[in-house]
Amino acid sequence: MNTATTLASESPSRRPPGTTRILVVDDSVANRRLLVAMIKEAGYRALTARDGLEAVTAVERLQPDLVLMDVNMPRMDGLEAARRIKQITGERFTPVIFVTGMGDQRVQTDCLAAGGDDFVTKPVELPVLQARVQAQLRTARLYREQYERRQELTYYRDMAEREQHVAKRVFRAITRRETLDAAHIRYRLSPMSTFNGDLVLAATTPDGNTHLLVGDFTGHGLAAAIGALPASDIFYAMSAKGYTIGNIIREINDRLHGLLPVGMFLAACGLEANDHECMLEVWNAGLPAALWCRKALGRVEPLPSISLPLGVVSSAELETAPTRHILAPGDRVLLYTDGVTEAEGAEGGQYGDQRLRAQVEALLGREDLFDRVLADLDAFRGETAQTDDITLVQFESRATQAAGIGAEPPREPTKAATAPATTWRLGLRLEGPAFQRFDPRPLVTQLVMEIQGLDPHKNQLFTILSELFANALDHGLLGLDSGLKAGPEGFARYFAEREARLAALKDGWIDIHLNHEPVGEGGRLLLRVEDSGPGFDYAAHLQAPPPGPEAFSGRGITLLRNLCAEVRYEPPGNRVQIRYDWP
pLDDT per position as a tens digit, 340-351: 999 999 988 999
pLDDT per position as a tens digit, 173-221: 666 656 777 889 999 988 765 556 788 999 999 988 999 999 998 866 5
pLDDT per position as a tens digit, 454-476: 888 988 999 999 999 999 999 99
- pLDDT given for residue 285 in this prediction: 94
- Confidence bin at 405 (pLDDT 50/70/90): very low
pLDDT per position as a tens digit, 318-361: 867 788 888 888 899 999 999 999 999 998 899 999 999 999 99
More confident residue, 552 or 137: 137
- pLDDT given for residue 413 in this prediction: 46
Closest CA to 67 of 49, 90, 87, 40: 49
- β-bridge partners, 510: 430, 531
Across 423-427, average pLDDT = 94
- Confidence bin at 412 (pLDDT 50/70/90): very low
Sheet of 390-396, strand order = 185-190, 390-396, 332-336, 290-294, 299-303
User: Are the C-beta atoms of residues 291 and 334 closer than 8 Å to each other?
Assistant: yes
Lowest-pLDDT choice from 110-124, 257-271, 552-566: 552-566
Across 417-428, average pLDDT = 86
Which segments of 175-282 does DSSP mark as H helices, in order?
A: 177-180, 222-241, 245-259
Whether 268 has a pLDDT exceeding 50, the answer reads: yes
Whether 500 has a pLDDT exceeding 70, the answer reads: yes
- pLDDT given for residue 411 in this prediction: 44
- pLDDT given for residue 337 in this prediction: 93
Closest CA to 54 of 3, 101, 14, 122: 3
- Confidence bin at 509 (pLDDT 50/70/90): very high
More confident residue, 538 or 498: 498
- The residue extents of the domains of the chain are 3-148, 175-396, 424-582
Amino acid, res. 294: R
Distance CA 489, CA 467 (A): 22
pLDDT per position as a tens digit, 75-133: 999 999 999 999 998 877 899 999 987 667 788 888 889 989 998 988 888 999 999 99
Q: What homologous superfamily does CATH list for 424-582? A: Histidine kinase-like ATPase, C-terminal domain (3.30.565.10)
Q: Collect all residues with Cβ–Cβ distance below 8 Å to 521 and sequence separation of at least 6.
A: 583
* 89 CB-contact burial (10 Å; exposed 0-12 / middle 13-18 / buried 19+): buried
Instruction: For domain 175-396, give its CATH number from 3.90.1150.10, 3.60.40.10, 3.90.1170.50, 3.90.79.10.
Output: 3.60.40.10
Whether 13 has a pLDDT exceeding 60, the answer reads: no
Whether 403 has a pLDDT exceeding 50, the answer reads: no
Percent of the chain with pLDDT over 70: 85
pLDDT per position as a tens digit, 33-53: 999 999 999 889 999 999 999
More confident residue, 169 or 531: 531
- pLDDT given for residue 227 in this prediction: 81
Distances (CA, A) of 47 to 11, 78, 482: 15, 16, 99
- pLDDT given for residue 381 in this prediction: 94
User: Are the C-beta atoms of residues 232 and 246 closer than 8 Å to each other?
Assistant: no
- pLDDT given for residue 80 in this prediction: 94
- pLDDT given for residue 304 in this prediction: 95
Tell me which DSSP letter residue 187 carries. Answer: E
Instruction: For domain 3-148, give its CATH number from 3.90.245.10, 3.40.50.620, 3.20.20.450, 3.40.50.2300.
Output: 3.40.50.2300
pLDDT per position as a tens digit, 521-533: 889 999 999 999 9
- Confidence bin at 404 (pLDDT 50/70/90): very low
Q: How far apart are the first and last CA of the chain?
A: 92
Angle between helices 105-113 and 78-89 (to 10 degrees): 20
Cis peptide before 572, with omega less than 30 degrees from 0?
Answer: yes
- pLDDT given for residue 415 in this prediction: 52
More confident residue, 334 or 18: 334
Mean pLDDT of the chain: 85
